[in-house]
Chain A
Amino acid sequence: MSSAPTSPAALVELTQLSHFYGKFQALKNVSLTVAPGAIGLIGQNGAGKSTLLKILLGLLNPSSGRGTVLGFDLVRQRHELRGRIGFMPEAESLIPGMRGVDLVALAGELSGMPRRQALRRAHEVLSYLELDEVRYRQCDGYSVGMKQRLKLAAALVHDPQLLLLDEPTAGLDPQGRDAMLRLLHAIASRHGKSLILSTHLLGDIDRVCEQVIIVDRGSILGCGRIGELRQHSLGRYRLRWRGDDSGFAQALTESGLTIQTTPRAGEVVVEVPADWKTVRFFEIAARHSAILSDVVPEEEDLPRLYHRLIGTDSRLASTPATGYPKS
């Protein structure tokens, strides 16, 4: 596949992008720059994720602002752009009556591949996604997991530079979900594809993506590498110690710290003021004959980060419904 007109350093670059549905503003002056890689797109229902995806795919013209994806202008070069993007929609976008291999080959042809090459490549991709045994079956009869992989095959067939995935694990059983996530991770890490993964399942993003875009009510609340966003959450430490259990914890409280949780005896998570120096933990411990074994800055997990940014109750973050199941 030919490359973009310029070799863009940024995968996606949006400037003051807005979109209105009638009077309702779905996207509000969105400006962001995303580097190539695996990117998670998260937000609540109605946050503007789908609108953003449609705009990135060139299906929807932004009401104002401009942007590029892979160096292609979102409005003027939308056809060229779509030829370089693979889109896996959440809805069952298959053509009833078609065999799996024909459907994937058609997707390739519609993306500009010659017929023979599209057919050969369809076989390759279906083998890669382990659908080779059912390739000649009509896609109506596929199971949910097979349909998801078939949609992924149709998105991958023309070897796109960027994959847009809308809820790729929806409806999959735990094994199927695990397999899909491993596959996406492999596509991103081993084959150098960029992907934008829109999902409600924060655990999926945690496993596959290194960058995240957090959307809420049409605005971008956070965008960047997950690790960098987590750094904003400094101010919490997980302490483990041996010795005087209650006395040390009491002393921490008296020193002006807030104990967030006490997972077990001899372990707490404390929130510290901005000017707190780590050495003071050791001073307090020494005063109460406690031996500190761990002083770990508490890193925010993705669910907490997400809920902090959108301003909802962070306790929800630990519920399995929003996060990846905790083992």
Chain B
Amino acid sequence: MELDQAGYRTWEGQPRSPWWGCLSIVRVGLSLIFRRWVFWILIGLGLLNFLFHFAFIYLKATLSVQNENIARFLDNYKVTGTGQAYADFMFAQAGICALLLAFAGSTLIGSDYRQGGMVFYLSRGIGKWHYIVGKLLTIAAVVTIVTTLPALILFIEYGTLSNSFQYFLDNPRVLCGILGYGTVLAVVQSLLIFAIAAWVPRTVPLVMTWLGLFALLKGLADAMRAIDGNRYWLLLGFWDDMNRLGRWCFGSLDPNRIPSAGYCLAVLAALCVVSLVLIVRRVRAVEVVS
């Protein structure tokens, strides 16, 4: 190494707050996800669903001018611009996102435990909470990009292609619903996948646990309800709880239907707290510093 050829220069700048480091973690995490072709299979599936809706809204706006029957025919495909339609769209996107997170959890979180990334992060000028917030924001960003952002674009497209901007004024609840459902999905999924990936960092067990949590708990909830018809057992299905809460945000949840949005919120909040406790217990660099 010829040191004389290249000099070492000092850095005289002023260090920024460690919270800026969270944004760097988000940027790097997203680039790791979007750089892998395996993830693009799932992202592509979400994109396909989005483009389908996008094209239908455009066709509806264009063709309904010529023939109202065509508009009614296109309404069969549930691209109606109502809260229910957006909730359905986001529900489908959330399913794809859950699959994406099942794989991405190992890359974003699991590899930090298996390959020393935790030491890399926590031996810098950031603390445990900066790392946790950064990683949670990364997962939340993935969820938002796959679910909330496309829904917002469709909402804007629908309003823009209607005859006036009255659509936006008439449907503020839809906007709130998109943001609300998006927030529920982002918060719950990011905390849950972080907690699972931190404790089960390898890909296969992580995917098994993640899918088992949603698929099998729903099965268990249905089976328990079938015993005596007690619908509160349905709260065990976390995926449906998120869906119910999301639909409540859109205003399309029947208020008399059990379990109500309040119960769903309580269950999901408890789940988030448990996840956070698990995350905090696991994020300890000293365990992995050799």
Chain A–chain B contact at Cβ < 8 A: yes
Q: Measuring CB to CB, which residues of chain A are less than 8 angstroms from any residue of chain B? A: 1-2, 50, 53-54, 57, 59-60, 78-80, 82-83, 87, 89-98, 102, 106-107, 109-115, 117, 121, 124, 127-130, 154, 156, 158-159, 166, 179, 182-183, 186-187, 190-191
Bound state CA distance, A111 and B16, in angstroms?
8
Q: How far is the CA of A323 from the CA of B111 in the complex (A)?
A: 36
- Assess whether A93 is in contact with B11, with CB atoms less than 8 Å apart: no
Q: How far is the CB of A77 from chain B (nearest CB, A)?
A: 11
A1–B15 CB distance below 8 A: yes
State whether B15 touches A110 (Cβ < 8 A).
no
Tell me the dominant secondary structure on chain B's binding face.
loop
Further contacts, 18 of them, CB under 8 A, given A1-B12, A190-B8: A59-B286, A79-B127, A82-B123, A91-B288, A93-B116, A93-B120, A93-B123, A107-B124, A110-B25, A111-B124, A112-B21, A113-B13, A117-B11, A124-B9, A128-B7, A129-B1, A182-B1, A191-B10
Residues of B contacting A187 with CB < 8 Å? 8
Number of A-B contacts (CB under 8 A): 140
Task: Give the shortest distance, in Å, between B239 (CB) and chain A (any CB).
Answer: 30
> B: which residues have CB within 8 A of A?
1-3, 6-18, 20-21, 24-25, 28, 31-32, 35-36, 107, 111-112, 115-127, 285-286, 288-290
The answer to whether B10 and A112 touch across the interface, beta carbons within 8 angstroms, is no
Closest to B131 in A: A110
Residues from chain A with a CB closer than 8 A to the CB of B35 are 97
Is the pair B127, A78 in contact by a Cβ cutoff of 8 Å?
A: yes
Among A82, A166, A182, which residue has the most Cβ atoms of chain B within 10 A? A82
Nearest CB of A to B111, in Å: 6
Partner of B290, one of A2, A89, A128, A130: A89
> Across the interface, do B15 and A183 meet the contact criterion of CB distance under 8 Å?
no
| Contact assessment for B125 and A111 in the assembled complex, using a CB-CB cutoff below 8 Å | yes
CA A97 – CA B24 in complex, angstroms?
16
- Is there an interface contact between A83 and B125, defined as CB atoms closer than 8 Å? yes
- B126, A79: Cβ atoms under 8 Å? yes
List, in ascending order, chain A residues with CB within 8 A of B121's CB.
110
Q: Bound state CA distance, A156 and B11, in angstroms?
A: 10
Q: Which of A2, A95, A107, A183 has the most CB of B within 10 A?
A: A95
Q: Is the CB of B290 within 8 A of A95?
A: no
Q: Are B8 and A93 in touch, CB under 8 angstroms?
A: no
**Of A1, A80, A92, A124, which is within 8 A of B115 by CB?**
A92
Question: What is the chain A residue whose CB lies nearest that of B33?
Answer: A97
Q: List A contacts of B17 (CB < 8 A).
A: 112
Q: Known A89-B116, A95-B117, A97-B36; judge A54-B107 contact (CB<8 A).
A: no
B11 touches A158 (CB 8 A): yes
Query: Which residue of A has the minimal Cβ distance to B288?
Result: A91
> Do the beta carbons of B286 and A182 come within 8 Å of each other?
no
Contact A87 B127 (CB under 8 A): no
Q: Which residues of A contact B123 (CB under 8 A)?
A: 57, 59, 82, 87, 89, 93
B28 touches A102 (CB 8 A): yes
Given A93-B117, A117-B13, A110-B1 contact (CB < 8 Å):
no
Contact A112 B18 (CB under 8 A): yes
Complex A-B: 17 CB contacts under 8 Å: A1-B15, A50-B289, A54-B286, A57-B123, A78-B127, A87-B123, A89-B289, A94-B115, A95-B111, A97-B32, A97-B35, A102-B28, A107-B120, A109-B21, A112-B20, A130-B1, A130-B6
Is the pair A59, B36 in contact by a Cβ cutoff of 8 Å? no
Give complex CA distance A82, B290 in Å: 18
CB distance from A31 to the nearest CB of B (A): 22
Determine the chain B residues whose CB is within 8 A of the CB of A128 once the complex forms: 3, 6-8
Which of B18, B107, B119 is the one whose CB lies under 8 Å from A97? B107
Q: How far is it, in angstroms, between the C-alpha of A78 and the C-alpha of B129 when the chains are bound?
A: 13
Residue of B nearest to A180 (CB): B1
B28, B116, B125 — which one has the most chain A CB atoms within 10 A of its CB? Answer: B125
| Residue of chain B at shortest CB distance from A110 | B124
Is A191 within 8 A of B116, CB to CB?
A: no
A156: B residues at CB distance < 8 A: 8
A-side contacts of B12, CB under 8 Å: 1
Contact B24 A115 (CB under 8 A): yes
Cross-interface CB contact of B11 among A95, A107, A121, A179, cutoff 8 Å:
A121
Knowing A59-B289, A128-B8, the reply to whether A91 touches B15 (Cβ < 8 A) is no
| Residues of chain A lying within 8 A (CB to CB) of residue B9 | 124
| A225 → chain B closest CB, angstroms | 25
A129 to B2, CA, bound (A): 9
Report Cα–Cα, A93/B7, bound state, in Å. Answer: 26
Contact B111 A96 (CB under 8 A): yes
